[in-house]
Amino acid sequence: MNAPQRKPPRPRAAADVAEVADGLNRHLGTRVKELRAERDWSLEALAQASGVSRSMLSEIEREQANPTLAVTLRIARAFGLALGDLLEAPGATPAVTVIRAGDRAYLYRSDQDVEIRTLSPLNLEKDVELYQVAFRPGGALRSAPHFEGTREFLSVQKGQVRVESAGDTELLGAGDSATYRADVPHAIVNAGKAQAVVFLVVIYR
């Protein structure tokens, strides 16, 4: 029988990423507790305001959860904060911030229509957000109006999409780009028969 193989040591880069993630989780737990105390909210009150379960909120505060971006965003909005303001940790900001392709913490949404990954560092999001959106055949991303003055800039990497904004529509193919109002009902629709991939920048005024 072969001797059991020893697990190779984790690369230093991976250890550094894990350490940063652990630090963010600790900071998030502390931050949620502090904000809840400032408002004199119970866990139940925050759960109702955010749409995040009481048990998940409890685990976050006890630093026993690794919440997704969507969950963290709901909590931020419940407190009336931008995502970056909720997650901004004390201390110096590194000169280079990396988001790895396989980091599922940045997977914002995945369903039968689209898969959305945020490409903006979570602790830096302020007035601009960057996303990669992959549309499955027949998929669409329809959005209610954002804040007044918000615009979106879209660049098509693969496939064909239709952009709709305030009753206007444009058909875009690979390499095309467009900018349009996002403070009105708007949509991006896969207009082809294969997968479409776009890069989307949301610009808040």
CATH value at residue 113? 2.60.120.10
Assessment of whether the complete model's pTM goes beyond 0.75: no
pLDDT confidence bin for 9, thresholds 50/70/90: very low
- The label of the residue with tokens 């490409």 reads 119
Give the residue from 34, 55, 87 where a domain finishes: 87
- Is there a single domain that holds both residue 111 and residue 73? no
- Is there a single domain that holds both residue 113 and residue 164? yes
pLDDT confidence bin for 160, thresholds 50/70/90: very high
pLDDT at 134: 97
Higher pLDDT, 11 or 177: 177
φ, ψ for residue 91 (rounded to 5)? 110, 175
Give the residue from 54, 87, 120 where a domain finishes: 87
| Mean pLDDT, residues 24-35 taken together | 81
Higher pLDDT, 178 or 81: 178
- Is there a single domain that holds both residue 116 and residue 65? no
pLDDT confidence bin for 4, thresholds 50/70/90: very low
φ, ψ for residue 39 (rounded to 5)? -95, -5
Residue range(s) defining the domain that contains residue 143: 106-203
Higher pLDDT, 164 or 60: 164
The SS3 call for residue 182 is coil
Count of structural domains within the chain: 2
pLDDT at 7: 37
* Percent above pLDDT 90 for the chain: 47
3 domain residue, yes or no: no
pLDDT at 98: 78
- Is there a single domain that holds both residue 110 and residue 75? no
Q: What is the pLDDT of residues 118-129, one digit of tens each?
A: 888 765 556 788
121 domain residue, yes or no: yes
Strands 128-135 and 114-118: antiparallel
CATH of the domain at 42: 1.10.260.40
Asked whether the beta carbons of 160 and 192 are under 8 A apart, the reply is: yes
- The label of the residue with tokens 């109006």 reads 145
pLDDT at 172: 98
